[in-house]
Amino acid sequence: MKEKFQTLFFVKSSLISLYLALTIPIPYISIEKFKNVSIIIFILGFYLIVKLTSDYVETCDNKISYQTSFISKIFGRNNWVILWKDIKLIKSLPTSQGSKVYYFTTSKGNNYLIPQRLEDLEKFLLIISRKTGISVEDISYISPLWTYKLLTILSGLMIIGEIFAFNRQMLSMLNL
């Protein structure tokens, strides 16, 4: 049976809302001759960030695959496909932030990063364990989910603050 695992919603929402919070003011504060250019760049940037967060993993009876967008490929992420029978080992490496990343190691000695920011990660790990016979009990999200939720909330508050400040500025310009 084919299963598809999308990037975690809170990862997407945190990155997209942070992008919006940091860039929404730019078209409004740019000088008149650059307004159109800043709007076009703002829209292009939004498109890029949405595409960069749209990677996913597919599993089926005989293989696992990681699929990226064209934009992700430009920034160095590549698609990969591994047959379940070729996975010999899962190894971990520490990150500089104190958590761990995990890699599939194949019979040919290739290493493939195991995505740890997926919707329904527990089901994904259960499939890996069933198909490879390798223990996955130590694998979890790369960072706590509350960090993504907090970033989304803070970015949302920034956007609200920017809207409030813009409205206030417009009202003061109209002397209301």
SS (H, E, C) 73-119: HHCCCCCEEEEHHHEEEEEEEECCCCCEEEEEEECCCCEEECCCCEC
Q: How many CA atoms lie within 13 A of 106 on its CB side?
A: 15
Claim: this prediction has a pTM higher than 0.85: no
Which helix (H) or strand (E) is 97 found in, with range?
none
Query: Which residue in this structure is represented by tokens 């990969």?
Result: 80
Q: pLDDT tens, position by position, for the chain (176 residues)?
A: 899 999 999 999 999 999 999 999 888 888 889 999 999 999 999 999 999 999 999 999 999 999 999 988 998 889 999 999 999 999 999 988 888 999 999 999 999 999 999 999 999 999 999 999 999 999 998 888 999 999 999 999 999 998 888 878 776 777 66
